[in-house]
Structure 1
Amino acid sequence: MVLEVLQLGFMQRALIAGVAIAITTSVIGLFLVLRRNSLFGDALSHVAFGGIAVGLVANVYPLWTGAAFSVLGALGITKLRRSAKIPADATVAVLLASGLALGLLLFSLSGQLFNISSYLFGSILVVSMEDTLAILAMAGAILAIVILLYRQLVYVTFDEEQAKVSGLPISKLNYLFVVLASVAVIVSMRLVGILLVSALIVIPNITALLLGKGFKKTALISVGISIFSVVTGIAVSYAANLPP
């Protein structure tokens, strides 16, 4: 039974793309959680939702406009957080609500409200080979950059002031990281949807923090939990004939 299922093309693509997303969101999510930015992914996904709606209205490939909005939103949040006049949580709340409102308005104007569920909840079982290759490429690029800058990112995450004193380019590292996070969010949206991106980013890492000690061990536990969740979800949805 299992071998028969794995021979199905759409299941192979779903599992490959799902595992790639699980690993990427776990790694990026751990940094976000440790930086007390757990809602960052949620805010970016809602901002991207507004960008997707803009793409539909402008007749442009929606994931490109969604990615642009997500990156701009990430940079905007980071910039505003450095302003003492605006609390960090208020910035996230404003962008989250604004992105959702813009998206709903433009989806209504474009006459594509019927298509909204695929963006809200994702469509992992209908991912194409092109989507799978794109996801693998972007996930690979994100993970490669994180591995390359691992020590610097960990240093900034745990002690930003000391990292600044030691001469690390804090601002550049932070801006680079939020761009990586925004790309991870927009890639994940294609599979799990806007409403569940934050769950994939936060829940495995919160669980891992309760079980693991040390950054690397916690990251491995988080990745394991995330992969298990994705694979189990796909398997159960297929077996029970339910939406994944």
Structure 2
Amino acid sequence: MEIFQQLTFLERGIAAGLLIGFISPLIGAFLLVRRMTIISEGLSHVTLTGITAGVLMMQTSAVFAFINPLYTGLLAALAGSLLIEKLRQVYKHFQELAIPIILSAGVGLSAVMISIAETGYTEWYAYLFGSILTVTLSDLLFIFLTGVLSMLIIGFFYKELLSISFDQEFASTSGISVRKINFLFSLLIALVISMSMKVVGILLVGALITLPVAAAILFAKSFRHVLLLGIIFGEAAVLGGIVSSYYLNVATGGMIVVTGIIILIGAAAVKKLLPEGFFSKEETA
């Protein structure tokens, strides 16, 4: 805690960005294997619903004045991820319907509550598109704690998460509790989205989860390589975006995503220039 207190506002933003750039590709890799990368878009809008609810609660009663909207956003993201899993069970043959249903509900509720809240444009802009200048000490502490929790979950349940991501039926017959691990994975997604919103922004967090992994898979020989390269590309996108946004005086979240797109385009160009078969795929995870 004392270390965080010594950081300047810019250093807090950079530290938060580096944490997010490290963890987001990890979740993106598992979502890629599950072919569920679009889930981050739906949950980001549900997270906005939680944030607007938190802001309204702060404004309507002094009892809730202590509430940090990041925490209500986390609860909304967790509830949304669990609801998506439930809807995927209800629509077994049309599971893709779960995402647009949740996304639509999130956008609609957010729009209504934003119109009611007595909040300026600047605050909502920071939540929607991110701003490292608005990262407070409590925000950085929240990002750090959620990041540590995410890493602990991945570390302790890596094999189970990997097994279920590749083949849920095999994992079930192997004695793995699919429902328990899916709940933990839902918690992971909620944690990553909620911790990323202040730096990248709610509308852009899905890009930071997806773009580094999309670049990594072009070169990776195994799932572990996807994780490693995804982290490298994610950190490069965050650092490049923060530096360029500082000198260009533009939105940090937007520049992080633009940098991620540039990295992806560069990776695709390099892959095309290399001789065919230069990167041979391995089946091991």
| Fold-level similarity (TM above 0.5) | yes
**2:83 counterpart of 1:51:** no
**2:142 counterpart of 1:134:** yes
1:234 is displaced (CA, Å) by: 0.6
Aligned residues of 2:129 and 2:251 also touching (Cα < 8 A): no
Fraction of identical pairs, as percent = 35
1:113 is displaced (CA, Å) by: 5.4
**2:96 counterpart of 1:97:** no
- Structure with the larger helix share: 1
Matches within 5 A, 1:70-219: 70-84=77-91, 87-112=94-119, 114=121, 115-219=123-227
The 1:8/1:178 distance shift into structure 2, 3 A limit, reads: closer
The residue number in structure 1 matching 2:267 is: none
SS in 2 for 1:95: helix
**2:234 counterpart of 1:226:** yes
Letter in 1 for 2:186: V
Q: Give the TM-score normalised by the residue count of structure 1.
A: 0.92
Instruction: Give me the whole-angstrom Cα distance separating, in 2, the residues matched to 1:228 and 1:76.
Output: 34
Gaps of 5+ in 1: 1-6
1:83 is displaced (CA, Å) by: 2.1
Runs of 4+ in 1 over 6 A off after TM superposition: none
1:134 is displaced (CA, Å) by: 2.0
Instruction: Give me the whole-angstrom Cα distance separating, in 2, the residues matched to 1:74 and 1:216.
Output: 25
Aligned residues of 1:80 and 1:86 also touching (Cα < 8 A): no
How many residues matched? Answer: 238
Letter in 1 for 2:235: I
Instruction: Give me the whole-angstrom Cα distance separating, in 2, the residues matched to 1:66 and 1:8.
Output: 25
Aligned residues of 2:10 and 2:133 also touching (Cα < 8 A): yes
Query: Aligned to 1:69, which of 76, 81, 96?
Result: 76
Instruction: Give me the whole-angstrom Cα distance separating, in 2, the residues matched to 1:142 and 1:224.
Output: 18
The 1:85/1:223 distance shift into structure 2, 3 A limit, reads: closer
Aligned residues of 2:42 and 2:103 also touching (Cα < 8 A): yes
Aligned residues of 1:107 and 1:113 also touching (Cα < 8 A): no
Aligned residues of 2:10 and 2:132 also touching (Cα < 8 A): no
The residue number in structure 2 matching 1:18 is: 17
Q: Give the TM-score normalised by the residue count of structure 2.
A: 0.80
The residue number in structure 2 matching 1:35 is: 34
Aligned residues of 1:50 and 1:103 also touching (Cα < 8 A): yes
1:212 is displaced (CA, Å) by: 0.8
RMSD over aligned Cα atoms: 1.6
